[in-house]
C-alpha cells in the first residue's frame, strides 16, 4: 500500500513521532495507522505524545547572535523542572532553536497562532498569483490550497525543517527532547531582531506625511 502524507500526518498527531519514523513504521504495517501507533508505542517513540497534557512551567531563554551583531534572537523554551532546564543538553536545544529562528525567520511558533486575517490575506495573494499565471479555473482552488499549506509550514517554527538536520522538523526536535528528558518540552515564544528592519517603511511613511502637509499648505 502506498503511504500518503495524510496517513503520516495522522500518525504524527496521534503519537508525536517524527516523519521518518512514521513513514517507516507505516510501510512495515501496510499503512494500518492503528497498528503503527501500537508499534511506535512499543518502540518508545510515542512517549512524547503521552506528555502533551502536562504543564511545562520551567525553562530557559536561549539566545543567538549572528552576522556580527546584525541579527539577534531570544527564545523561551519550557520544560517541567528546573533540573532539566539547567542541563547543558537543554540549553543546547534552546540555542539550536534560536539559531533556527535567526536563519529561517519564522513568523509564528505553530499554526494555531496564525491570525485568520493573515491567512485570508495570504490566500488573496495566492489567488491573484494563480490568476496571473493563467491556471484553469477547475484546478486553481487546489493550487491555491497547496500554496497556503506550504506557506504555513514555512512561517511556523515547529513545522520548518531543522537547519542542522533537514530530515526532521523543529517540532520533531522538541519531541525528541521530550522523550529524552521524560518531561514535556515546548517552545513558548520568541523575538527576532535585525538591524534596520522596518526603517525603510517608516521613512516612506514619513515622506508621505511630509508630502501631504505640503499639499495641504
DSSP secondary structure code for residue 195 in this structure: T
Give the contacts of 42 (CB within 8 A, at least 6 positions apart). Answer: none
CATH of the domain at 144: 1.10.286
The more confident residue out of 16 and 72 is 72
Instruction: Answer yes or no: is 205 within a domain.
Output: no
Instruction: Answer yes or no: is 126 within a domain.
Output: yes
pLDDT score at 15: 76
Instruction: Answer yes or no: is 209 within a domain.
Output: no
Assess whether 179 and 145 both reside in one domain.
Answer: no
pLDDT score at 110: 93
Assess whether 77 and 100 both reside in one domain.
Answer: yes
Assess whether 98 and 170 both reside in one domain.
Answer: yes
Instruction: Answer yes or no: is 200 within a domain.
Output: no
Q: What is the pLDDT of residues 64-118, one digit of tens each?
A: 998 788 899 999 999 988 899 999 999 999 999 999 999 999 999 999 899 999 9
CB distance 116 to 110 below 8 Å:
no
Assess whether 180 and 92 both reside in one domain.
Answer: yes
pLDDT score at 147: 93
Q: What is the pLDDT of residues 73-83, one digit of tens each?
A: 999 999 988 89
Name the residue range of residue 89's domain: 55-106+162-194
Q: State how far the Cα of 149 lies from the Cα of 153, in Å rounded to an integer.
A: 7
Give the contacts of 69 (CB within 8 A, at least 6 positions apart). Answer: 195
pLDDT score at 213: 57
Instruction: Answer yes or no: is 22 within a domain.
Output: yes
Q: What is the pLDDT of residues 134-182, one digit of tens each?
A: 888 889 999 999 999 999 999 999 999 999 999 999 999 999 998 888 8
Assess whether 175 and 100 both reside in one domain.
Answer: yes
Instruction: Answer yes or no: is 199 within a domain.
Output: no
Q: Which three cell numbers stand for residue 146?
A: 497547496
Instruction: Answer yes or no: is 214 within a domain.
Output: no
Assess whether 96 and 174 both reside in one domain.
Answer: yes
| Least confident interval from 26-40, 46-60, 154-168, 173-187 | 46-60
pLDDT score at 99: 94
Q: What is the pLDDT of residues 177-208, one digit of tens each?
A: 988 888 889 999 999 998 877 665 555 565 56
Assess whether 24 and 45 both reside in one domain.
Answer: yes
pLDDT score at 77: 95
Q: What is the pLDDT of residues 120-131, one digit of tens each?
A: 999 999 999 998
Average pLDDT (8-25) is 82
Assess whether 179 and 102 both reside in one domain.
Answer: yes
Instruction: Answer yes or no: is 78 within a domain.
Output: yes
Assess whether 6 and 31 both reside in one domain.
Answer: yes
Number of domains in the chain: 3
Q: State how far the Cα of 12 lies from the Cα of 37, in Å rounded to an integer.
A: 9
Q: State how far the Cα of 173 lies from the Cα of 35, in Å rounded to an integer.
A: 24
CATH of the domain at 34: 1.10.8.10
CATH of the domain at 184: 3.30.479.20
Assess whether 82 and 45 both reside in one domain.
Answer: no
CB distance 36 to 26 below 8 Å:
yes
Amino acid at each position: 500500500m502506498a503511504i500518503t502524507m495524510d496517513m503520516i500526518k495522522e500518525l504524527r498527531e496521534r503519537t508525536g513521532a517524527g516523519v521518518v519514523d512514521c513513514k517507516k513504521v507505516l510501510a512495515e504495517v501496510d499503512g494500518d495507522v492503528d497498528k503503527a501507533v501500537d508499534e511506535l508505542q512499543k518502540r518508545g517513540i510515542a512517549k512524547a505524545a503521552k506528555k502533551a497534557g502536562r504543564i511545562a512551567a520551567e525553562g530557559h531563554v536561549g539566545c543567538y547572535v549572528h552576522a556580527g551583531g546584525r541579527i539577534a534572537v531570544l527564545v523561551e523554551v519550557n520544560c517541567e523542572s528546573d533540573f532539566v532546564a539547567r542541563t547543558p543538553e537543554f540549553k543546547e536545544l534552546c540555542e539550536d532553536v534560536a539559531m533556527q529562528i535567526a536563519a529561517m525567520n519564522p513568523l509564528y511558533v505553530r499554526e494555531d497562532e496564525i491570525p485568520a486575517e493573515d491567512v485570508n490575506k495570504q490566500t488573496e495573494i495566492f489567488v491573484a498569483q494563480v490568476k496571473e499565471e493563467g491556471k484553469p479555473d477547475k484546478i486553481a482552488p487546489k493550487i491555491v490550497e497547496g500554496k497556503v499549506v506550504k506557506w504555513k509550514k514555512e512561517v511556523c517554527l515547529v513545522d520548518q525543517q531543522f537547519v542542522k538536520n533537514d530530515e526532521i522538523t523543529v517540532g520533531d526536535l522538541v519531541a525528541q527532547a521530550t522523550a529524552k528528558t521524560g518531561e514535556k518540552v515546548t517552545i513558548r515564544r520568541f523575538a527576532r531582531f535585525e538591524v534596520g528592519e522596518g526603517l525603510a517603511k517608516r521613512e516612506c511613511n514619513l515622506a508621505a506625511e511630509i508630502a501631504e502637509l505640503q499639499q495641504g499648505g
